[in-house]
Amino acid sequence: MTIAPVAISWTALAPMVVLACGGLVVMLVDLLSRSASRAVLYGIGVVSCIAAFAAMLPLYGRSIVTLNGAFAADRFSWTFDALLLFTLALTFLLSSLRKADDGGSPGSYAALLIFCTIGGMVMAGANNLIAVFLGIEQLSLALYVLAGTGFPRESSQEAALKYVLLGSLASGFLIFGSALLYGADGSMALAALAKAAASLSPLFVAGFALFLVGLGFKLALAPFHTWAPDIYEGSPLAVTAFMAVGVKVATFAVLARVVYAAFGHDSPALVALWAIAILSMLVGNFGAIRQRNLKRLMAFSSIAQAGYIVVALNGVNREGLSAMLFYLAAYAFTTMGAFGVMALLGDGSESYADLDAYRGLFFKRPWPAALMALFFFSLAGIPATAGFYGKILLLQLAFNGTAWGVAMAVTLVLGTLISFYVYGKVVWNMFAAVEGEAPAASGNAIAPWIAVAAGALGTIVFGVLPQTFYASQPFLAAAAK
């Protein structure tokens, strides 16, 4: 008997392979050199991000399906991969501070971040249910550990434990949902979902519902969001940033691919998704009102933002995909930037996660405070920032004539109004004067400044010239189907 080897397109897999090699190099360097500093290890991390991006360049605009249809490297995954690599590189920059909270073992920290991102890239390109599950598990397992790397702090241990327990539960939902979806059409391929979705067989509906629960947990969509505040608060700052951005980017790739593969158009089954979106926008924004810890505030904010992004799927059309990518990019810039300022000011410690630390900051450190204000304005959707145009795109998609669309649009606007207070509160504190305090001197490391500057640049350029990006090839992604 001979076994026909699976046809592998190494070009399609190259970015992930390159990144994985980077991870191995990090581990080897950590092994062989007695005193590899944090800067060296994270530097290798950033370099592997760049190398992986270079490996992505030949894939630009192409569409390769490989590994027996399990994995697709197309324009859709290309942009998501680029966002993930961007997020990873920035996460390294945020982690590189003196007091960085990585449990004293930068080597394993860096390697885990890299392997985590590879999981995200698998998710972005996953073309069948098994690949989806593999990607999600790789991403999650690495993150469970990363959440606990601030282990001298009890809250970090708590975060890791909670994340493992709740995350495994969610994975259970996801795999059970996948099994039912497989049962509904007898195929693992996402493309095969369309037939079962058209008839809305009970097996499909049950499977899709469970699948949504699993994804909803990973995205922190209400009502599966309750874990987010504690875990965001407990995890080390840079890990929280990655959690807020990287996990959302990768999981939205899966959600979009599944929805686009299963439904060619609006479907009654998606009503559940719209209800979740509306609930998330309300829960996220109302929940954020009372928060005085910035990481918790960002957790609620990310719940609300995830709710906004779901609106992009309304109508299941091509514009929705570009809008989702645009909004995710805007969200990545602003959120990474905001966490960057927190890391920069606290010099890696958690001291600037507290809202009170920001009192009168603008008059002590004008530039970080001004940029922080920019990021929060963008999250609130103030014009001339990336977040504003993202919201315009989402509202445009919401107004497609359906009652659910209008309900989502109205909720989005209501949520935005509440968020004016939430984000305004941070800005208010930074500008509210405190008399007679000496300027704080700490926090001038170059690496987080690069991250903050990258975030600010993206926020402004995407906000003022949205067309340049919105209509560019990476954003006009070829739909998954």
Partner 1 sequence: MLINAVIFAPLLTAVLLLFVPRTASAALKGIALAGALITFVLSLTFLGSSQNGAADQSVAWISGTWLASYHVRIDSLRLFFVLLTTLVSVACIWAAFSYADEARLRGYLFLLLAFETTLLGLFTAADLLLFYVYWDLMLIPVFLLLVGYAHSAAARRAAWYYLIYNGAGGLVLLLGVIALVAHTHSFEVLASGAPQLSGAMEWWIFLSFALAFLIKTPAFPFHSWMPPTYTHAPTPVVAMVAGVQSKAGLFALLAFGLPLFPHATRALAPILLVLAVCSIIYGALAALGQRDMKTLVAFSSLSHLGLVWLALFAFDITSVSASILMLVSHGLIAAALFLLMGFVEERVGTRDLAVFGGLALRAPRLQALMLIAAMGALGLPGLSGFAGEFLILIGSWQTQPLYTAIALLAVVLATVYVLQLFQGILHRPLRADAQAQLELRPREIWLVAPLLAAIFFLGLWPGWLNDRTPMAISNAGTTALQATPR
Partner 2 sequence: MPASPWTIIAVYFIIALVVACVIAIVPGIFTRKRPTVEKLEAYECGVPPTSALLGRFPVRFFLVAMLFVVFDVEAASFFPWAVQLKALGWFGFMEMLTFIVVLGIGYAYVWKKGGFSWR
Q: How many residues bind partner 1 (CB under 8 A)?
A: 32
| Residue 183 within binding range of partner 1, rule CB under 8 A | no
Per CB under 8 A, contacts with partner 1 among 302-331 are 319
Q: Which stretch binds partner 1 (CB under 8 A): 30-38, 290-298, 303-311, 412-420?
A: 412-420
CB 138 within 8 A of CB 60: no
Q: How many residues bind partner 2 (CB under 8 A)?
A: 12
Q: Site for partner 1 (CB under 8 A): which residue of 413, 450, 478, 479?
A: 413
Contacts (Cβ under 8 Å, ≥6 apart) of 225: 280, 283, 284, 303
Q: Site for partner 2 (CB under 8 A): which residue of 33, 37, 68, 105?
A: 105
Treating both helix axes as pointing N-terminal to C-terminal, what angle do 129-147 and 202-219 enclose, rounded to 10 degrees?
30
Give dist(CA 173, CA 168) in Å, integer: 9
Contact partner at residue 53 from partner 1, partner 2, none, CB < 5 to 8 Å by partner kind: none
Contact partner at residue 433 from partner 1, partner 2, none, CB < 5 to 8 Å by partner kind: partner 1
Q: Which stretch binds partner 1 (CB under 8 A): 82-90, 187-195, 281-289, 413-421?
A: 413-421
Measured from the CB atom, the residue of 179 and 413 that comes closer to partner 1 is 413
Give dist(CA 138, CA 131) in Å, integer: 10
Contact partner at residue 410 from partner 1, partner 2, none, CB < 5 to 8 Å by partner kind: partner 1
Measured from the CB atom, the residue of 95 and 314 that comes closer to partner 1 is 314
Residue 108 C-beta: closest distance to partner 2, Å = 7
Q: Which stretch binds partner 1 (CB under 8 A): 12-20, 191-199, 280-288, 375-383?
A: 375-383
| Residue 395 within binding range of partner 1, rule CB under 8 A | yes
Give dist(CA 463, CA 381) in Å, integer: 10
Q: Site for partner 1 (CB under 8 A): which residue of 420, 450, 461, 478?
A: 420
Q: Site for partner 1 (CB under 8 A): which residue of 24, 289, 433, 457?
A: 433
Measured from the CB atom, the residue of 109 and 232 that comes closer to partner 2 is 109
| Residue 466 within binding range of partner 1, rule CB under 8 A | yes
Burial 243-282 (b: 16+ CB within 10 A, else e): bbbbbbbbbbbbbbbbbbbbbeebbebbeebbebbbbbbb
| Residue 446 within binding range of partner 2, rule CB under 8 A | no
Contact partner at residue 104 from partner 1, partner 2, none, CB < 5 to 8 Å by partner kind: none
Q: Site for partner 1 (CB under 8 A): which residue of 388, 404, 462, 469?
A: 388
| Residue 108 within binding range of partner 2, rule CB under 8 A | yes
Give dist(CA 207, CA 321) in Å, integer: 24
Residue 275 C-beta: closest distance to partner 2, Å = 31
Contact partner at residue 470 from partner 2, partner 1, none, CB < 5 to 8 Å by partner kind: partner 1
Per CB under 8 A, contacts with partner 1 among 339-368 are 362-363, 366
Measured from the CB atom, the residue of 3 and 403 that comes closer to partner 2 is 3
Residue 202 C-beta: closest distance to partner 2, Å = 13
Contact partner at residue 105 from partner 1, partner 2, none, CB < 5 to 8 Å by partner kind: partner 2
Binding to partner 2 by CB under 8 A, coded x per residue (else -) over 2-41, reads xx-x------------------x--xx-xx----------
Where do contacts with partner 1 occur on this chain (CB under 8 A)?
319, 362-363, 366, 373, 377, 382-384, 388, 392, 395-396, 399, 409-410, 413-414, 416-417, 420-421, 424, 427-428, 431-433, 466-467, 470-471
